[in-house]
Amino acid sequence: MKIVNIIGRKNNGKTTLVVALIEAFWARGLQVGSIKHTSHNYDLDTPGKDSDRHRLAGAVPAAIISGRHTAVHLPTPLNDTLCYDHIMPLYAGCDFVLVEGHCAGPGLKLEVWREKANTEPIAATQNDVVAMITDDPCEIDLPMIPRSDLTQVVDKILNLLDITS
């Protein structure tokens, strides 16, 4: 599975960019899946509800199916990159998967950065970032893709993945 990580520090515009990218890839006829990674603990269920009780009792996986959504709960291994092995079959029909926010995850890494966020680029200390997505001057020695030119961002990602649309 081809994976592209859109990384960046808080308030640099990762979610806004990922949503725009998903829409742009779909407009080009590509099927793209997404994963939001967070280092925070996040409960996906309402404590005390039946599905939560199933999970707490030890069901693995534990799922809930409603008229609109299906959610499958799996425990995250200590090394959360191993989770990808468990969930990648769900993305089998995708051309690729966009992951938001997983600096240590597998796949290509592109960093979105804004000067006004007043944070150091991750690429300053992490050597596996392949490009910067920014409209601001940046002293990182990587290819720079203008954030304001979504078409150029899309084209660069597709080129890196060797996908034609």
pLDDT in tens, 126-140: 999 999 999 999 999
Give the C-alpha separation, 103 to 110, whole Å: 10
Class for domain 3-38+60-161, per CATH? Answer: alpha beta
pLDDT at 25: 98
Give the C-alpha separation, 34 to 31, whole Å: 10
3-state helix, strand, coil in the chain (%, to 5): 30, 20, 50
Contact 136, 121 (CB under 8 A): no
Give the C-alpha separation, 39 to 116, whole Å: 23
Q: pTM, whole model, 2 decimals?
A: 0.87
Helix (H, G, I), strand (E, B) or coil at 137: coil
* The pLDDT of residue 75 is above 90: no
Give the mean model confidence (pLDDT) for residues 106-119: 96
Report CA torsion sign: 44, 46, 49, 55: positive
pLDDT at 81: 62
Work out the mean pLDDT of the chain and round it to a whole number: 91
From 139, 138, 133, 137, select the one nearest 151 (Cα to Cα): 133
Give the mean model confidence (pLDDT) for residues 112-116: 97
From 39, 34, 74, 24, select the one nearest 54 (Cα to Cα): 74
pLDDT at 42: 67
